[in-house]
Amino acid sequence: MPISAPYYRTCAQVYAQRWALGRNPLFLDFSQLGGDCTNFISQCLYAGSCLMDYRDSGWYYRSPEDRAPAWTAVEFLYQYLVRQEQSPGPFARQVAAGGLELGDVIQLGDAGGHFYHSLLVTGFLPGQYLVCAHTDNARNRPLLSYRFARARFLHIEGVWRENAENSQGKCPSCFCKLYNGESLI
């Protein structure tokens, strides 16, 4: 039975700040294929969890041709994160605007209810979040500088694992090689 393990928020934040203005060579840049924002956010979530869900309906990236829709598409990532089943990987719940911490996810939408952009919380200013993002690269950009009609706020509650990883409060096992663009696993 899966157990709920910690999500390493600082690792996700550090990764986001490292790669916000560049591209990790381990991943395809999807900027010319509809946008790179959710691919980047998935990388950040992976940096804070070091666990992918390789099921057909899961969340994973092996290569540009072998990845889950949830890895690169805004709506699919949302559906994956708020899933009810305890399958491997990070999980979240939607919260009110003020309920986010470092490493949490914000998704922006239009007035018609279509969500089109994913961002990672990497800091705070009085009354607003600082975020990192791709497609239009941003590092510690104030959320209020974006134009959007609606937003949803996803608080990452933890990571479902088959067994506990003993990181003792440090970044999880894959972090260093991922951060340095050396290896996915």
What pLDDT is attached to residue 168? Answer: 58
> Of 68, 70, 44, whose CA–CA distance to 54 is shortest?
68
Q: What are phi and psi of 15, to 5 degrees?
A: -60, -45
Q: Which of 118, 86, 116 is nearest to 4 (CA)?
A: 86
pLDDT digits (tens, 9 = 90+) for 116-168: 999 999 999 999 999 999 998 999 999 999 999 999 999 999 999 887 665 55
Task: Confirm if 118 and 132 have CB atoms less than 8 A apart.
Answer: no
Residue range 81-87: average pLDDT?
94
Residue among 158, 38, 153 at smallest CA distance from 87:
158
Alpha carbons 74 and 60: distance in angstroms, whole number: 14
Sorted by where each begins, the domain ranges of the chain are: 3-179
Q: 82 by DSSP, 3-state: which? A: coil
**Of 12-16, 168-172, 175-179, which one has max mean pLDDT?**
12-16
Q: What is the pLDDT of residues 91-120, one digit of tens each?
A: 999 999 999 999 999 999 999 999 999 999
Mean pLDDT of 24-45: 93
Q: Band the pLDDT of 65: cuts 50, 70, 90.
A: very high
Asked if the model's pLDDT at residue 20 lies above 90, the reply is: yes
The SS3 call for residue 109 is strand
pLDDT confidence of 31, banded at 50, 70, 90?
A: confident
